[in-house]
Amino acid sequence: MLCKLEDLKNKSVINVKNGSNLGFVDDIVMDTFSARVLSLVIYGKKKFFGILGREDDILISWSDINIIGDDVVLVNIEWLPYSNNQFKKKKFFQSLFK
């Protein structure tokens, strides 16, 4: 299957370890000497509509990719990109508005 970068940008990235949707492919990292793709880049989510910047980008090594399908890219990574602190903040804000 041939795939262009434009085709990859429309595919969501799913972690098969926990079923989480990591986002869409935004860019690639490529070695220009060997002409190999090294990793996929998913840009971090915007903080407060982008005014406060972004979270860290997610880099997925080419070796961590299981399969590139028609609609999704399945990856197998051990770490969770979202820390538990974010979930605690949501619970805190939810308690304020109850």
Q: What are the structural domain ranges in the chain?
A: 5-96
pLDDT at 73: 94
- pLDDT greater than 90 at residue 10: no
CA 60 to chain centre: 8
Give residue 98's pLDDT band: very low, low, confident or very high (50, 70, 90).
low
Fold of 5-96: SH3 type barrels. (2.30.30)
Query: pLDDT for 46-67, tens place per residue?
Result: 777 767 777 788 899 999 999 9
Q: Are 22 and 11 in contact (CB under 8 A)?
A: no
pLDDT at 51: 76
For the question of whether the overall pTM of this predicted structure is more than 0.85, the answer is no
Strand 58-61 to 36-42 pairing: antiparallel
